[in-house]
Chains A and B, each alone.
Chain A
Amino acid sequence: MQLDIKIPIGLLFTIFGLILSVYGLITGSETAFYAKSLGYNVNLWTGVVMLLFGVFMLYLARKDAKALKSK
């Protein structure tokens, strides 16, 4: 199959990661908002993890595409 699945996964996680971490930064000072999640800024943390994972997937996809081209 010619479509590398790492691309859609990487893109989606990068986009979700950006949305959640930015939203987490904006809402970070509202203590009442995060009372539900025991005071943890779950949006920021989950967002950062998703962003890292997404970028890593895109990096892998790019590396594979280059390797395929040079072959």
Chain B
Amino acid sequence: MPNLLTLGGIDYVIIFIYFLFVIGIGWALKRYMSSSKAFLEAGRSLPAWVTGLAFISANLGALEVIGMSASGAQYGMATTHFYWIGAIPAMIFLGLFMMPFYYGSKARSVPEYLKLRFDEKTRGLNAIAFAVMTILASGISMYALAALMEKLLHWPFDASVLVSAGIVLAYTLLGGLSSAIYNEVLQFFIIVIGLFPLVFLSLKDAGGWTGMTETLNQVSTSNGFQTGAWTTMWSHTGTAAANPMGVEWFGIFMGLGFVLGFGYWCTNFLVVQRAMAANSMTAARKTPLIGAVPKILLPFLVIVPGMAAMALASKGTLSLEMMPNGSPNYNSVITSMLGHYYPSGILGLGLCALLASFMSGMAGNVSAFNTVWTYDLYQSYIKPNQSDKHYLNVGRLATIVGIILSIGAAYLAKQFGNIMDFLQMIFAMVNAPLFAIMFLGMFWKRTTGHGAFWGLLLGISCALIHHGLTIPMGADPSEIIKGGWISVIHTYPSSMAQNFWGAIIGWTSGTVCTLIITYLTKQQKSNEDLKGLVYSLTPRIIEKDDKWYNRPIVLACFVAALTLVLSIIFW
């Protein structure tokens, strides 16, 4: 079997130089790593544009690029919902309303915030779940990188795993969180420049936007939808059956926009950690808002090539890889297009963009893992009251252990692919109830620790039970990953609809349970304890030094207006 991509000498040179730079950044930052705060929190010293780009880049892993271009082909413009409704409102909310509590409190992590606001057991539950989740996510990234390189270039699987793990270990161990963040910013620029020519060439080949729309209209009608189903966002969401995604507007709005979006962006320490590394309160609040600007534009970089690929495939210009069951393998859209349009030279750059984002997927998770492990598990339960030097060394050791565990997770993923998908989906469900208790905790001072803990636990259980009782249309109940492992009482039009509704149920049950238990239990914390942690007990921030255009609220209005205008254009 020939290689799917053929690399020339120049491509290897480019990839090699990139790896040198990645490690070099860690090396250059090494001499600043003198305390646990510098290593695990980047010394809270970074400017807002750096943390803002890292915020968005930590989420822009290769799995995201591959997955979103795949969805672009499969569902069309509606995939943009994951950005404009699924991320932007939550990012605005985080910047304006939640960041003051994360950054302003003494908490160094999201679990630590839970401990300050609620109690020890809530923190413990969240810290352990988060630590396991980051290791799995890092391992899945590693597995995906090695599997892709094996398929495209016939690089041996074990060598890819070890080399990528070695590089990530080198730069996170040398430069800690700063190094991870700096590399995320570098990676952001490489992804943009590495993929932009692909957008241009594929659109050009598909006959421009108009040509692509015409072809996709034929794709819509031949799949039994009205014209425009592939090129609009909201027009065909009246009923779930009218669009290829199989979700109606309410599910998108509540499930994706509210519960999943807010659950991910407002509570996931992986991204929140980037904002907490900012050098001031204003910079921390601006982090998600600055990150929102590239986030709004990313669909044009990752979804549009997917849509163009679908159009080109239906015209016969581009051949999509087929799976054994005869349906197209949408996940290979982006790599097929790289091979189709990129000659040697820029091909190395495109591959760099993918490799870079795989590795930052690992580094981001490992740098969140070592912080939660050191502060929330080791310092809290294993050995409190040690010198800072001790915790710095524990942080370093946790980085090494985290990478070793990730390698283990990568081989688990290779062995039991379905189980890993299943676990990842379970962890996605954890965020919805977590957002429920975080929201109540921040804006209602009465919320008690018992209420939060049981709300979190019940929310997760309800989301799980929902998954066990429902199934997407056409799925086989014997595969537990698709759901229906208890018994099937409801069938959803698509797995996306199933996920959205699972999250809605997790959030609702978490909220109701927290409310009930809160009324049944006594608040253990005094108003003094909760100062800086709860909205009504925290003094308003007055920003007097900043020029008006530097204020978070102005930036937030700009971001909201831009999203709204684009949503109307692509309605």
Binding site for B on A (CB under 8 A): 1-3, 5, 8-9, 11-13, 15-16, 19-20, 23-24, 27, 33-34, 36-38, 40, 42-43, 45-46, 49-50, 53
Contact = CB atoms under 8 A, between A and B. Distances in A.
Contact of B345 (A9, A15, A24): A24
Given A8-B25, A12-B17, 20 more contacts: A1-B29, A1-B32, A1-B43, A5-B185, A8-B186, A9-B186, A11-B21, A12-B18, A12-B190, A13-B189, A13-B193, A19-B345, A20-B345, A23-B10, A37-B201, A37-B342, A42-B346, A43-B346, A46-B193, A46-B349
Contact of A27 (B43, B340, B345): B345
Interface string B22-38: 00110011001000000
A34 B204 contact: no
Q: How large is the interface on B (under 10, 10 to 19, 20 to 34, 35 or more residues)?
A: 35 or more
A20 B43 contact: no
Interface in B263-294: none
B511 interface: no
A43 B350 CA distance: 11
Contacts, number: 87
A36 B28 CA distance: 39
Grouping DSSP codes into helix (H, G, I), strand (E, B) and loop, the B interface class, with mixed when no group exceeds half, is: helix
B18 A38 contact: no
29 contacts: A1-B32, A1-B42, A1-B43, A1-B45, A3-B25, A5-B182, A8-B21, A8-B182, A9-B185, A12-B17, A12-B18, A12-B190, A15-B17, A19-B13, A19-B17, A19-B345, A20-B345, A20-B346, A20-B349, A34-B343, A37-B197, A37-B346, A38-B341, A40-B201, A42-B197, A43-B345, A43-B346, A46-B349, A49-B193
A64 to B, nearest CB: 10
Interface of B: 10, 13-14, 17-18, 21, 24-25, 28-29, 32, 42-43, 45-46, 50, 178, 182, 185-186, 189-190, 193, 197, 201, 204-205, 340-346, 349
Grouping DSSP codes into helix (H, G, I), strand (E, B) and loop, the A interface class, with mixed when no group exceeds half, is: helix
Given A8-B28, A8-B182, A37-B201, A16 B345 contact: no
A27 to B, nearest CB: 7
Nearest to B49: A5
